């Protein structure tokens, strides 16, 4: 690991996270506008990660995203479609909008409990199939054992397999539990080459939480101050209501600033959220996706 990686520990006094979140909520309460809702929608990674996913489901999702501008011409499209690697080729063939990325969960998702050689190969194959973003999970068990160098080296090696694709590193914050662990995992991932750090797979409870987001965004801010590199943040898992999405948007704005409020640096992994945001924006019940 790099010299910067050698000093990653940080303690969180009792009340620091909750007080920080309370201040953000108070600061932005009543602030939101239709513009904010549209921004949140534009940052969605429209996701399907079910064991019953089919090629037809991937094709239908890509088609709906492609035709979205025809139905909602005044709205931005989603940022990406996120699928398993076996659906990437189908999505690529049927996705017309060049601005929408294709993200593949890879590297032994969702548990990361396989050999690093397999993770690297799966990542390279997903990119070859057409993915331009890769979402992987850190080896949580290895991290909890304290083998931080192994975690870092694994992320770095997978990053090389990404080629020109962006790498999103999932911390699985519900398993890490403490702010100190979330902070350390954030720093390890960023120093190892992550383009984004992401809260959760959505397969473990709790999934995304404002508390984890507060810690991760604070780590991103410190990393940027020390290195000059902007790393993105992705909240994923259990984000369903428009108000929840806007809360994460507020956390980003307060800790990282307006320059992070774009799909290049902020994402929300979601499935049901898209229709709820469309309903909030149009003030009509929408079930497009």
- Residues 86-122 pLDDT 10s: 999 999 999 999 999 999 999 999 999 999 999 999 9
| Number of folded domains that form the chain | 1
In a domain, 77, yes or no: yes
Burial of 35 (0-12, 13-18, 19+ CB in 10 A): exposed
User: Is 57 part of the annotated catalytic residue set?
Assistant: no
Residue 1, pLDDT > 70, answer no
Catalytic residue among 168, 195, 234, 244: 234
Structure tokens at 223: 């990393």
Instruction: Look at residue 57 and tell me if it is in a domain.
Output: yes
pLDDT at 168 over 60: yes
6 inside domain: no
**247, 281 in Cβ contact below 8 A?**
no
In a domain? residue 224? yes
Q: Any catalytic annotation for residue 159?
A: no
Task: State the residue for tokens 């035709």.
Answer: 67
Residue of 45, 135, 244, 250 marked active site: 135
Query: Which residue of the set 119, 198, 244, 250 is catalytic?
Result: 198
User: Where in the sequence is the domain holding 232, given as residue range(s)?
Assistant: 36-282
Distance CA 267, CA 233 (A): 6
17 lies in some domain: no
Average pLDDT over residues 190-215: 96
- 84 within domain boundaries: yes
pLDDT for the residue numbered 5: 52
Give me the mean pLDDT over the 229-253 stretch.
96
**Annotation says 168 is catalytic:** no
Question: Is residue 25, in this structure, part of any structural domain at all?
Answer: no
CATH number at residue 56: 3.20.20.70
Residue 18 inside a domain? The answer is: no
């Amino acid at each position: 690991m790099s010299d910067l990686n050698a000093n990653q520990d940080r303690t969180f006094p009792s009340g620091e996270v909750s007080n920080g979140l309370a201040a953000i909520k108070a600061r932005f309460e009543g602030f939101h506008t239709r513009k904010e809702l549209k921004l949140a929608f534009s940052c969605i990674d429209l996701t399907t990660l079910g064991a019953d996913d089919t090629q037809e489901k991937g094709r239908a999702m890509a088609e709906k995203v492609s035709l979205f501008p025809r139905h909602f011409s005044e709205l931005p499209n989603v940022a990406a479609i996120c699928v398993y690697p076996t659906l990437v080729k189908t999505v690529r063939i049927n996705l017309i909008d060049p601005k929408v990325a294709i993200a593949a969960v890879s590297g032994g998702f969702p548990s990361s409990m396989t050999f690093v050689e397999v993770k690297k190969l799966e990542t390279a194959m997903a990119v070859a199939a057409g993915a331009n973003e890769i979402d992987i999970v850190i080896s949580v068990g290895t991290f909890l054992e304290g083998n931080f160098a192994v975690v870092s080296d694994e992320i770095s090696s997978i990053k090389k397999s990404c080629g020109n694709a962006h790498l999103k590193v999932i911390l699985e914050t519900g398993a890490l539990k403490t702010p100190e662990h979330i902070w350390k995992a954030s720093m390890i991932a960023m120093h190892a080459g992550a383009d984004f750090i992401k809260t959760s797979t959505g397969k473990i409870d709790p999934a995304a939480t404002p508390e984890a987001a507060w810690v991760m965004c604070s780590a991103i801010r410190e990393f940027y101050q020390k290195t000059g590199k902007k790393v993105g943040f992705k909240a994923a898992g259990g984000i369903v209501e428009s108000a929840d999405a806007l809360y994460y948007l507020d956390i980003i704005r307060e800790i990282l600033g307006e320059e992070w409020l774009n799909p290049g640096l902020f994402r929300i992994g979601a499935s049901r959220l898209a229709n709820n945001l469309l309903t909030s924006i149009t003030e009509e019940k929408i079930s497009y996706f």
